[in-house]
């Protein structure tokens, strides 16, 4: 692929994406983006289709097409199992989604941490969750950026340098966030999601055709790499490793604020349903395709030096025409950008709503929004700096992100299902587990033979339940919270029962 | 049975996704081994979610 082809493609992509971002702005007459919930939640009026594509693009970072393909190359079919268990975990949205949505609407929450703070009647809980999220997610974004830098440099043979790639992705992410807050992020995400799925499916199709079809591919694997089709297989996916990887990812839809915040945004429960089902269909195809990339690379290029070369090698091979290679390259960049801009926006809303507004009470909504907007580029620049510096610490924090964010899960589940949960329990669980996970990663990630991924949820649950049992819950806020869920969702059930269509169906 | 209770079937699929490939299928090194099992589990998860969320209706409060 030539340098001019690459730059022209990037220019066309940017032009289309910026056009979509500008079109996504609401007219001021409709309320626009000038409030916290307008800017960060799209006024809780997002439709199901855009929500589904954006949820997919945010969840699936550049990790899939590079990382999952590489993981399949190195560890075989266990990589597929890992992703399927994560994917099944998103079913938590079917359970928690309506409850999040109901209290969000009733109390006007902008962030999941604000919800916890109100439920447990403690500002410290909101601040702890927000700060822990920043500690884990900014390095995670930095590693995503660095990944884009390396990939662009690798695929283009140095025509785009590492630094150019990283700076380009950061600038695009800031730009998409700034045009209309979450609205422009979600609409550009939708474009990126479509690009990601179309390009990656096309590549998988072409490559498998060239290898003689699906049957031939799996025959080659069965005869030449039989272990790649079983677990533990070549050794990467021992049962303990598999548990350590899958448990934190199973809770991703609750533990990661950039996706749990999405549960406040749909315009109705019907839209939430479309978001969930749309995501599941997208995720299933995307997972299958990424795994097939890894298998194809293993069948065609069995002796690569490193597993993460699987994708670049496949794209540079004669199986993939240069134009498609460029589209995939942009798709991978888009995958990273769509994850980073959502994380930036969510963290900015948390810093402004849960840290700044709690430190300076009675600060106006307008002021909070201004602070949030100022925090967006600060977070982006921190991620950029970390990506450039390539510190070991950052890599460790990034890897620890999924295990560390599990710290919020017991407090979140308890918020909806356990009236006895207390602020002290939630706070100890969040702070204690985050510190515990970091300590585990700093000291070799093994305690009694088990990794932090397994221990995290155990430690968080024990701390939350144990400390809650010896402290007192705040009765008024607990009652108000549960009453709101019953009221919002109860009204709905009554409506459904009164709906003539439902009555008819019941007979 | 209430529709929402079917979520337990999702968790059962998850449990099987840990158990079956590591026991029954650990020697089946063909496409119809763990690969097919997890693919079917994925489709089952989608179908169950479609069913569980059927009651998510329009909610207009205005």
pLDDT tens digits, chain A, 507 residues: what are they? 677 888 888 899 899 988 888 888 865 545 555 788 888 888 888 888 888 988 888 888 766 777 888 889 989 999 999 999 999 999 999 999 999 999 999 999 999 999 999 999 999 999 999 999 998 888 888 888 888 887 778 777 778 888 888 898 899 889 888 888 888 888 888 888 888 888 889 989 999 999 999 999 999 999 999 999 998 988 889 999 899 889 999 999 999 998 999 999 999 999 999 999 999 999 999 999 999 999 999 999 998 888 878 888 888 888 888 888 888 888 888 888 888 888 998 999 999 988 988 888 888 888 888 998 899 999 999 888 888 887 777 767 777 888 889 999 999 999 999 999 999 999 999 999 999 998 988 888 888 988 888 899 999 999 999 999 999 999 999 999 999 998 888 765 555 555 544 444 434
Give contacts of B58 with chain A, Cβ < 8 Å.
Answer: 268-270
Q: How far is CA A104 from the centre of its chain?
A: 20
Structural domains of chain A ordered from first start: 3-403 (1.20.1730.10)
**Using CB atoms within 10 A of its CB, is residue A455 exposed (0-12), middle (13-18) or buried (19+)?**
buried
pTM for the whole structure: 0.89
Task: Quote ipTM for the complex.
Answer: 0.92
Give contacts of B21 with chain A, Cβ < 8 Å.
Answer: 77-78, 81, 230-231
Using an 8 Å Cβ cutoff, are A239 and A245 in contact? no
Tell me how close the Cα of B8 comes to any Cα of chain A, in angstroms.
11
Closest CA to A276 of A34, A59, A440: A59
Tell me how close the Cα of A159 comes to any Cα of chain B, in angstroms.
38
Chain B interface mutation, best of A75, A77, A217, A219, highest count of B Cβ atoms under 10 Å: A77
Compare all CA atoms of chain B with the CA of A47 and give the residue at the minimum distance: B58
Strand partners, A450: A447
Helix A392-405 vs helix A423-442: crossing angle, to nearest 10: 140
Which distant-in-sequence residues (6+ apart) come within 8 Å of B13 by Cβ? A88, B41, B44, B45, B48
| Interface touch A229/B10, C-beta < 8 Å | no
Alpha-carbon gap, residue A251 to A408, rounded angstroms = 10
B45 at the A interface (CB within 8 A)?
yes
Residue A60 gets which letter from DSSP?
A: S
């Amino acid at each position: 692929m030539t340098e001019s082809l690459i730059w022209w493609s990037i220019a066309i992509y940017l032009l289309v994406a910026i056009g979509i971002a500008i079109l996504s702005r609401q007219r001021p007459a409709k309320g626009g983006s000038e409030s916290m919930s307008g800017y960060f939640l799209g006024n809780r009026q997002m439709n199901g289709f855009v929500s589904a594509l954006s949820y997919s693009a945010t969840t699936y970072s550049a990790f899939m097409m590079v990382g999952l393909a590489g993981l399949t190359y190195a560890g075989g079919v266990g990589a597929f199992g890992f992703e399927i268990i994560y994917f099944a975990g998103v079913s938590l949205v079917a359970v928690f989604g309506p409850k999040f949505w109901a209290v969000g609407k009733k109390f006007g929450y902008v962030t999941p941490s604000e919800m916890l703070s109100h439920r447990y009647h403690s500002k410290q809980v909101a601040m702890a969750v927000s700060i822990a999220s920043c500690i884990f997610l900014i390095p995670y974004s930095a590693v995503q950026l660095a990944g884009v830098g390396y990939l662009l440099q690798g695929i283009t043979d140095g025509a785009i340098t590492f630094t150019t790639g990283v700076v380009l992705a950061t600038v695009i992410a800031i730009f998409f966030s700034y045009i209309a807050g979450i609205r422009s992020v979600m609409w550009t995400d939708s474009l990126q999601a479509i690009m990601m799925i179309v390009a990656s499916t096309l590549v998988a199709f072409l490559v498998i055709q060239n290898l003689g079809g699906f049957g031939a591919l799996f025959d080659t694997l069965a005869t030449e790499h039989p272990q790649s089709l079983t677990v533990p297989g070549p050794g990467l996916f021992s049962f303990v490793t598999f548990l350590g990887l899958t448990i934190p990812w199973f809770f991703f839809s609750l533990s990661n604020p950039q996706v749990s915040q999405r549960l406040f945004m749909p315009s109705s429960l019907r839209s939430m349903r479309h978001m969930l089902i749309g995501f599941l269909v997208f995720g299933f195809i995307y997972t299958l395709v990424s795994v097939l990339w890894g298998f194809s690379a293993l069948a065609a290029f069995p002796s690569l030096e490193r597993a993460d070369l699987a994708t670049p090698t496949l794209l540079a091979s004669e199986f993939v025409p240069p134009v498609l290679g460029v589209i995939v390259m942009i798709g991978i960049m888009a995958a990273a950008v769509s994850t980073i801009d959502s994380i930036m926006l969510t963290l900015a809303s948390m810093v402004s709503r849960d840290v700044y507004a709690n430190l300076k009470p009675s600060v106006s909504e307008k002021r909070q929004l201004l602070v949030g907007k100022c925090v967006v580029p600060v977070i982006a620049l921190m991620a950029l700096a970390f990506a450039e510096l390539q510190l070991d610490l950052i890599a460790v924090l990034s890897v620890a992100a999924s295990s560390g964010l599990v710290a919020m899960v017991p407090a979140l589940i308890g918020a909806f299902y356990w009236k006895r949960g207390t602020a002290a329990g939630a706070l100890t669980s969040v702070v204690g587990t985050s510190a515990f996970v970091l300590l585990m990663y700093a000291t070799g990630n093994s305690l009694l033979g088990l990794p932090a991924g397994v221990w995290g949820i155990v430690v968080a649950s024990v701390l939350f339940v144990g400390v809650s049992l010896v402290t007192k819950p705040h009765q008024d806020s607990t009652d108000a919270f549960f009453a709101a869920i019953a009221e919002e969702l109860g009204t709905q059930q009554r409506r459904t029962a009164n709906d003539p269509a439902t009555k008819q169906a019941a007979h | 049975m209430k529709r929402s209770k079917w979520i337990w079937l999702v968790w059962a699929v998850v449990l099987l996704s840990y158990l079956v490939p590591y026991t029954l299928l650990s020697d089946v090194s063909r496409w119809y081994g763990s690969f097919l099992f997890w693919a079917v589990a994925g489709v089952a998860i989608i179908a169950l979610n479609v069913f569980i969320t059927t009651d998510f209706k329009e909610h207009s409060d205005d």
